[in-house]
C-alpha cells in the first residue's frame, strides 16, 4: 500500500518534497495556510535565482528554457566549483567549519537543479542583474547565473504543475494548527479540530520572519522596525509545533537574511502588487555609490565585495543606524547601471542638480555632516584605477576610516539622486535539526518518528550571512531529501 504523506506549506521546499515523495509512489497532500493567490510563500516573491556549483558553462545549457538564445554565443558563465561555493559559505561562518547541512547543500546543488529540470522546471540566465557587458561579452561575475523562468512565480508554477501531474493534491486556506503526536510518533496533523492521519508529515512552512513576537524574542527588539519582505504567513507555526513535541533547536536563532529596502515600502512587499513587482522595493546597488546615516556619516564599506555577498547582511547594518534608516547616494555616471528597482514606479528618491540641492531634499539627516562626508569621500577616491563592475576592481578610497574597497568613483556628475532605505527581513536562519533522511531530531538527537522538515525551517545552513541565491537551492535540496526520506 502506498504511503500517505502530508506536507505543510506550498513553497519551493514543499513542492520539491512533494515531487520526490510522488516519484517514490506515495500519496501526497499539501495543506497551505494561504489562499490560492497567496500560496507559494516567500518562493513566489523571489527572483527565482538559484546558486549551484558547476564546472563549466556547458553544464548550464541543458537547464535552459531557450538553449538557442543568441546571447549565449557571447556569454561567459565562468565556473563555480564546489570549492568556491564552500568558500563563499565559509566566509559567513565566523570561523565555524562548514556545517553538515552546508556540505550537503553544496554537494547536492547541481544534481538537484538537474533533477528539477528533469521535472520540466526550466531556467534562464540572469543577464540583467548578474552580468555586465565587457568588450562585447556578457560576463557573469558572482557564481550565480540562472533563475527559474519567470522568476519566483514561474518556479512555483512549474513545480506545482510537476507536483499535480504526478498526482499530488493541494488544499488552500488550510492552516495546520498542530501535530497529531501519539506514543512518540507523529501520526498526522490537526487543522483546527480536524485530525488527518498520515504515515509521515513534512514541515515546509517557512521561518518565523513574519511573527513580531518571535522576531523580537529571538533576534532583538530592533527587528520590530524591520520591514517584512515576503509572505505574511511565515509565522513560525511549524517550528513551534515541532519544538512543542521535543524537537531540538538548531542554527543561529538571532541570525537572519536582511536587505536594504525602500524606507517607504509597506510590509510584506506591497501585497497589492504582483509578486514580480514586490521585489522592486529592494535597493541593493549601494556598491555603485555611498550610504549615509541620519548623522550624515558612512557606516559600512559599500564596495566590500560583490553585492551577492553583502546584500543579505547590510539590511541589518542599516536597521542598526539611528532612526533605523539610511540614504543611498548616486551620481548620474551610474544611473544606467542601477537595477530596474531604482526605476520602479513606486521607488522613492530625491534628485538635485547640485550636491547642495540634493542634500536639501534629504529628510532626517544632518545636512552639514552629509556634505562633509561627500566631499571627504570624493577627495579620497583613487583616481588611477579604472572602474570595472565585472570584477573586484580595487578602485577604493585611500584614506578614510571606513574604506570603500571597490568601485569607488567620485560623486560629481549632475544630476544626483538619493534613495531612503531601511532594513527588510527576508527569512530567518534558526530552525530544526534534521538527519540525512530529513527526519527532525529531538533533544537527544534521535529522530522523531514520522516528522520531517525542509526549507527555511532547517537550521545550520546559514550563519552570519548568505551568498545570494542559496535559499531556494537549500529548499530544493532538503525538500528532495525529506520527500525521499518520508517514503522510506
User: Which residues of the chain form contacts with ligand FAD (CB under 6 A)?
Assistant: 8-14, 31-34, 39-43, 45-50, 175-176, 204-206, 229-231, 233-234, 237, 269, 279, 426-427, 455-456, 469-472, 475
Q: At what angle do helices 12-23 and 470-486 cross, to 10 degrees?
A: 30
Q: Provide, rounded to whole angstroms, the least separation between the CB of residue 33 and ligand FAD.
A: 4
Q: Provide, rounded to whole angstroms, the least separation between the CB of residue 21 and ligand FAD.
A: 15
Q: Provide, rounded to whole angstroms, the least separation between the CB of residue 337 and ligand FAD.
A: 20
Q: Between residues 261 and 297, which has the closer beta carbon with respect to ligand FAD?
A: 261
**Residue recorded with cell 557564481:** 143
The answer to whether 40 and 11 are in contact (CB under 8 A) is: yes
Q: Provide, rounded to whole angstroms, the least separation between the CB of residue 309 and ligand FAD.
A: 14
Q: Between residues 47 and 113, which has the closer beta carbon with respect to ligand FAD?
A: 47
Sign of the Cα pseudo-torsion (20, 23, 24, 25, in order): positive
Q: Provide, rounded to whole angstroms, the least separation between the CB of residue 339 and ligand FAD.
A: 13
Q: Between residues 143 and 475, which has the closer beta carbon with respect to ligand FAD?
A: 475
> What is the Cα Rg of the chain in Å?
23
Sign of the Cα pseudo-torsion (459, 21, 436, 105, in order): negative
Rounded Cα gap, residues 62 and 54, in angstroms: 13
Rounded Cα gap, residues 455 and 242, in angstroms: 14
Backbone angles phi, psi at 326, to 5 degrees: -155, 170
Q: Between residues 28 and 294, which has the closer beta carbon with respect to ligand FAD?
A: 28
Q: Which of 144, 146, 428 is nearest to 309 (CA)?
A: 144
Q: Between residues 142 and 471, which has the closer beta carbon with respect to ligand FAD?
A: 471
The answer to whether 310 and 287 are in contact (CB under 8 A) is: yes
Q: Between residues 420 and 455, which has the closer beta carbon with respect to ligand FAD?
A: 455
Set of cell numbers at residue 457: 525551517
Q: Between residues 196 and 418, which has the closer beta carbon with respect to ligand FAD?
A: 196
DSSP string, 251-279: S-TT-EEEEEEETTPPGGG-TTS-HHHHG
Q: Provide, rounded to whole angstroms, the least separation between the CB of residue 214 and ligand FAD.
A: 13
Q: 3-class SS at 117? A: helix
Q: Provide, rounded to whole angstroms, the least separation between the CB of residue 353 and ligand FAD.
A: 34
| β-strand pairing of 416-428 with 326-331 | antiparallel
Q: Provide, rounded to whole angstroms, the least separation between the CB of residue 305 and ligand FAD.
A: 18
Supply the DSSP symbol for 130. Answer: H
Q: Between residues 54 and 416, which has the closer beta carbon with respect to ligand FAD?
A: 54
289-301 CB burial, b ≥16 within 10 A, e <16: bbbbbbebbbbbb
Amino acid at each position: 500500500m502506498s504511503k500517505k504523506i502530508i506536507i505543510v506549506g506550498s513553497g519551493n521546499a514543499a513542492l520539491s518534497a512533494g515531487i520526490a515523495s510522488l516519484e517514490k509512489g506515495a500519496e501526497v497532500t499539501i495543506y497551505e495556510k494561504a489562499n490560492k493567490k497567496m500560496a507559494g510563500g516567500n518562493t513566489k516573491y523571489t527572483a527565482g535565482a538559484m546558486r549551484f556549483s558547476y564546472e563549466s558553462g556547458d553544464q548550464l545549457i541543458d537547464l535552459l528554457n531557450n538553449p538557442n538564445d543568441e546571447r549565449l554565443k557571447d556569454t561567459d558563465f565562468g565556473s563555480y566549483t564546489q570549492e568556491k561555493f564552500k568558500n563563499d559559505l565559509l566566509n559567513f561562518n565566523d570561523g565555524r567549519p562548514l556545517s553538515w547541512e552546508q556540505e550537503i547543500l553544496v554537494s547536492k546543488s547541481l544534481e538537484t537543479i538537474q533533477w528539477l529540470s528533469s521535472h520540466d522546471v526550466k531556467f534562464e540566465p540572469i543577464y540583467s542583474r548578474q552580468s555586465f557587458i565587457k568588450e562585447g561579452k556578457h560576463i557573469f561575475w558572482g557564481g550565480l547565473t540562472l533563475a527559474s523562468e519567470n522568476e519566483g512565480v514561474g518556479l512555483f508554477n512549474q513545480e506545482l504543475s510537476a507536483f499535480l501531474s504526478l498526482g499530488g493534491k493541494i488544499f488552500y486556506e488550510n492552516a495546520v494548527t498542530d501535530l497529531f503526536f501519539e506514543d512518540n510518533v507523529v501520526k498526522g496533523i490537526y487543522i483546527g479540530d480536524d485530525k488527518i492521519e498520515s504515515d509521515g508529515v513534512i514541515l515546509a512552512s517557512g521561518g518565523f520572519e513574519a511573527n513580531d513576537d518571535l522576531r523580537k524574542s529571538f533576534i532583538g527588539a530592533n527587528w520590530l522596525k524591520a520591514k517584512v519582505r515576503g509572505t505574511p504567513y511565515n509565522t513560525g507555526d511549524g517550528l513551534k509545533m515541532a519544538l512543542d513535541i521535543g524537537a531540538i533547536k538548531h542554527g543561529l536563532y538571532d541570525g537572519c537574511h536582511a536587505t536594504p529596502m525602500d524606507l517607504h515600502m509597506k510590509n510584506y512587499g506591497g501585497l497589492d502588487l504582483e509578486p514580480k513587482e514586490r521585489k522592486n522595493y529592494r535597493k541593493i546597488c549601494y556598491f555603485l555609490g555611498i550610504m549615509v546615516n541620519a548623522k550624515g556619516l558612512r557606516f559600512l564599506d559599500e564596495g566590500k565585495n560583490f553585492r551577492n555577498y553583502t546584500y543579505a547582511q547590510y539590511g541589518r547594518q542599516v536597521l542598526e543606524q539611528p532612526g533605523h534608516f539610511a540614504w543611498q547616494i548616486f551620481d548620474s555616471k551610474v544611473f544606467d547601471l542601477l537595477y530596474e528597482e531604482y526605476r520602479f514606479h513606486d521607488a522613492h528618491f530625491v534628485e538635485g542638480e547640485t550636491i547642495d540641492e540634493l542634500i536639501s531634499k534629504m529628510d532626517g539627516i544632518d545636512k552639514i555632516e552629509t556634505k562633509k562626508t561627500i566631499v571627504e569621500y570624493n577627495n579620497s577616491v583613487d583616481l588611477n584605477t579604472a572602474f570595472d563592475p565585472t570584477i573586484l576592481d580595487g578602485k577604493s578610497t585611500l584614506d578614510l576610516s571606513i574604506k570603500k574597497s571597490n568601485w569607488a568613483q567620485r560623486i560629481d556628475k549632475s544630476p544626483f539622486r538619493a534613495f531612503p532605505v531601511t532594513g527588510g527581513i527576508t527569512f530567518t536562519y534558526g530552525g530544526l535539526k534534521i538527519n540525512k533522511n530529513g527526519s527532525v531530531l529531538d533533544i537527544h538527537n534521535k529522530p522523531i518518528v514520522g516528522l520531517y522538515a525542509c526549507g527555511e525551517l532547517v537550521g545550520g545552513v546559514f550563519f552570519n550571512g548568505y551568498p545570494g541565491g542559496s535559499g531556494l537551492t537549500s529548499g530544493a535540496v532538503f525538500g528532495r531529501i525529506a520527500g525521499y526520506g518520508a517514503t522510506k
